[in-house]
Structure 1
Amino acid sequence: MEWIACRFVRVEPRRRVGLFLLGLLAGLPRVNCWTIAEHAGEASPDGMQHLLARAAWHADAVRDDLRGYVVDHLADPGAVLVVDETGDLKKGVHTVGVQRQYTGTAGRIENAQVGVYLVYAATGGHAFIDRALYLPKSWTTEPDRCRAAGVPDDIKFATKPALAREMIIRALDAGVPASWVAGDEVYGCDSKLRTGLQERRIGYVLAVACDHQVATLAGKHPAKALARRLPARAWNRLSAGAGAKGHRWYDWALIDIPVDVTDAEVPGSVGDQALLVRRSISTGELAFYRCYTPVPVPLATLVAVAGRRWTIEESFQAGKGLTGLDEHQVRRWISWHRWTILAMLAHAFLAVTAATARAQTHPTPGLIALTANEIRHLFTHLLDHTRHSAPHLLHWSRWRRRHQARARDCHHCRQTAQLA
């Protein structure tokens, strides 16, 4: 709260945002304005809903404070900016950005809302520093629909790689210390993103598809075709970093590739480009990465950067499981951006506290280091002493049932009118 208090001029939203953050960290069975307001001791969710929808504060300013908080505690010149998207399953058609689209959350095409996120992955820890809501063309081509959801008039259609490029540039322009960018195939196959990073002389290890065309002296060939020609001596067994079950060992090979015509025209694009190939030890399955480095680096460095990409999956899991990143029940543009930035701030608090604990304490034999999950548990039970009386709990029971009764009656009236 010390980092963001200045963004709230009035005392009421400043106090309420503190209670909101406590609610996000409270381990509630469901996290929404109703449950957070009840946990905060308020008589109705109106105040929390007002905080998200109408109160005078700027989510972008809080985003800048979040970025400063993370960098202040985790700063690392060799850090990796990791970009990826995640989907939140939704019902109906009125929630901003929702449509039937593929989402990795479900592993199939579902009615979902997709956000693109940026994680700062340093040696000491990792946390979110930015996000952007993906608006499909089914929204941007319907101004009335966008207006009803509160989408600003200047927001136009942008692909997920374009959103990622904006967030990365914003972070670099703000002086975030980082040397690398990592991402999956959605971002690795986007030439504009790769070119933009080369212009900034920022190294990248971006996944690409097996049929991604790679320029060689003998012409362009699919990545999988080049991998088939690699001799046995080209492979090196290296760890991509430690996971939940130990080190992630793979066989790796590096194929140097010449700078293609497009990249050669980029000012300041001098550097090394390569195709990094990963082979599973157990199944032999291949994965491919386009790499760029302003100066030559060893294979182990590229492998380590590729391994850092998984930190964003860990952040999604922690953000959704510990701070309600995906549990927002909001429909409008401004409410989505406000909810996500506060959930990211709560997650950053846990991530930074865990990193600080690991740095300041010696490992204890027989114990793992403090995790974000354990810190959230300790914080909730030791520091947050919010306890409510039976009348307060009964009041909320009546409030919920009364609201649900009104919603039921409205649905029945609408259904009757449609049948008539």
Structure 2
Amino acid sequence: MTRIAGRFTRVEPRRRVRQLVLGLLSDLPRKNCWTIAEWAGQTTPDGMQHLLGRAKWDADQVRDDVREYVMEHLHDDQAVLVVDETGDVKKGTHTVGVQRQYTGTAGRIENAQVAVYLVYAGQRGHAAVDRELYVPRSWTADPDRCQAAGLGENTAFATKPELATRMITRFLDVGHHASWVAGDEVYGGNPKLRTALEERGTGYVLAVACSHEVTTGAGKFRADTLAKKVPKRAWQKLSAGPGAKGHRFYNWAVIDLPDPRAGSRQLLIRRNRSTGELAYYRCYSPASVPLTVLVRVAGSRWRVEEFFQSGKGLAALDEHQVRRYISWSRWVTLAMLAHAFLAVIRADEHTRPAPDALIPLTCNEIQRLFITLVVRPVHDAAHRLGWSVWRRRHQARSQASHYRRQATQAKIGSVKRAV
């Protein structure tokens, strides 16, 4: 918290942001301005809502602080930048960026808000270092709607690969280095993103669809067509990295792609040893690298899934109940900071030998110990009863407002019918 304290010119928001971050790390079943304010001992959620919506501070500057914190503690010369998006299912149409769209969170098309994240994955651990909200065309084509949600009326549409390029460029432009970038088919199928990485000399292993076409010395072929031509002796059994149940072994094959430009380009193919299911990757590196390196980078992509799971489960990354862009950016940035704290503590703990018959501390266990032993607040009955009264009063006002609106709409409808 000392690292970001300078972003807040007044002591009140500085203290409140600390309470909010601790609340994000708490064991509350649901985390929002109401529950965190009660947990922190405040009498109403007004202060927390002010911090997210109206207080003067720049979430992008705090995002930069989070990035520097992660780089200081998790730096790795062979780290991988992983890009991926996640969706938060929402109700209504007023939450910034929301529309009916596919989200992997639900596994289907839902009314959702989608954001793209950049995760730094090294040997010591992984944490998010940047985020961008995906704003669909249905929003950017409506300047009034954008302005009402806190977006600039000149907000331009950007695809998810364009958002990923923006974040990777921001990371590299401040002087940080990453040898590799990994991502799924959304990013691998985008030639502009691949070209941007090649121009900066950054290697990548990006998934592509089975229908993706590549050019070989014998002509242009679909990826799945080339996979059928791979001889049996070309497949190698290699681990994509450790998982919850041990190493994740697959069969791998690689096909060199001739190109007059500098650098080494390949099509990497992964085959599931049980089902035979195939996956395909476009690869680039400034210099030729062994197959084991490409496999390691491909396996690193799953670190972003681990971030989404722990970021949402431990730091409430997806529990923001806000509508405007400024509140969204502030909430997710502080959630990234909370998760990064857990990741850094975990990395430090893993440098020490664990006692016999114990695994090293996990982020989940660190969160439990930290909240239980260090910061669990204790409040008396009067505080709890006061919050009960506040909630019921707020709900009564909301209910009366709904009834008034319904009555007004009914009166307007009857007048129109009479006319």
CA-to-partner distance for each residue in 1:134-169, whole Å, 9 max, x for gaps? 000000000000011010234210000000000001
Match of 2:417 in 1: none
Alpha-carbon distance between aligned partners in 1 of 2:355 and 2:200, rounded to the nearest angstrom: 43
Alpha-carbon distance between aligned partners in 2 of 1:252 and 1:244, rounded to the nearest angstrom: 21
Structure 2: runs of 5 or more not aligned: 412-419
Match of 1:212 in 2: 212
Shift of 1:6: 0.7
Given that 2:322 and 2:328 are in contact with CA atoms closer than 8 Å, whether structure 1 keeps it comes out as yes
| Structure 2 counterpart of 1:311, one-letter code | R
Alpha-carbon distance between aligned partners in 2 of 1:212 and 1:409, rounded to the nearest angstrom: 57
Matched, 1:284 2:276: yes
Q: Secondary structure at the match of 2:3?
A: coil
Question: Identity over aligned residues, as a percent?
Answer: 64
Match of 2:98 in 1: 98
Match of 1:346 in 2: 338
Q: Secondary structure at the match of 1:3?
A: helix
Structure 1: runs of 5 or more not aligned: none
| Structure 2 counterpart of 1:22, one-letter code | L
Match of 2:193 in 1: 193
User: What does 1:5-154 align with in structure 2 at a 5 Å threshold?
Assistant: 5-154=5-154
Matched, 1:405 2:396: yes
Shift of 1:256: 0.5
Given that 1:76 and 1:177 are in contact with CA atoms closer than 8 Å, whether structure 2 keeps it comes out as no
Matched, 1:369 2:360: yes
Match of 2:242 in 1: 242
| Structure 1 counterpart of 2:80, one-letter code | V
Given that 2:250 and 2:271 are in contact with CA atoms closer than 8 Å, whether structure 1 keeps it comes out as yes
Shift of 1:406: 1.7
Q: Secondary structure at the match of 2:365?
A: helix
Alpha-carbon distance between aligned partners in 2 of 1:223 and 1:292, rounded to the nearest angstrom: 16
After TM superposition, the structure 1 stretch with the greater mean CA deviation from structure 2, 408-417 or 149-158, is 408-417
Alpha-carbon distance between aligned partners in 1 of 2:306 and 2:396, rounded to the nearest angstrom: 39
Q: May I ask how many residue pairs the two structures share in their alignment?
A: 411
Q: Secondary structure at the match of 1:4?
A: helix
Alpha-carbon distance between aligned partners in 1 of 2:95 and 2:17, rounded to the nearest angstrom: 23
Q: Secondary structure at the match of 2:6?
A: helix
Q: CA RMSD in A?
A: 1.0
Alpha-carbon distance between aligned partners in 2 of 1:416 and 1:223, rounded to the nearest angstrom: 62
Which of 373, 388, 400 matches 2:379?
Answer: 388
| Structure 2 counterpart of 1:82, one-letter code | V
Alpha-carbon distance between aligned partners in 1 of 2:164 and 2:387, rounded to the nearest angstrom: 42
Q: Secondary structure at the match of 2:288?
A: coil
Matched, 1:169 2:161: no
Alpha-carbon distance between aligned partners in 2 of 1:416 and 1:114, rounded to the nearest angstrom: 36
CA-to-partner distance for each residue in 1:364-397, whole Å, 9 max, x for gaps? 2211110110000000001004111100001111
CA-to-partner distance for each residue in 1:103-125, whole Å, 9 max, x for gaps? 00000000000000000000100
Give the alignment's TM-score, normalised by structure 1: 0.96
| Structure 2 counterpart of 1:217, one-letter code | G
The 1:218/1:368 distance shift into structure 2, 3 A limit, reads same
After TM superposition, the structure 1 stretch with the greater mean CA deviation from structure 2, 81-90 or 34-43, is 34-43
Alpha-carbon distance between aligned partners in 2 of 1:285 and 1:123, rounded to the nearest angstrom: 28
Given that 1:239 and 1:248 are in contact with CA atoms closer than 8 Å, whether structure 2 keeps it comes out as yes
| Structure 2 counterpart of 1:366, one-letter code | A
Alpha-carbon distance between aligned partners in 2 of 1:41 and 1:22, rounded to the nearest angstrom: 12
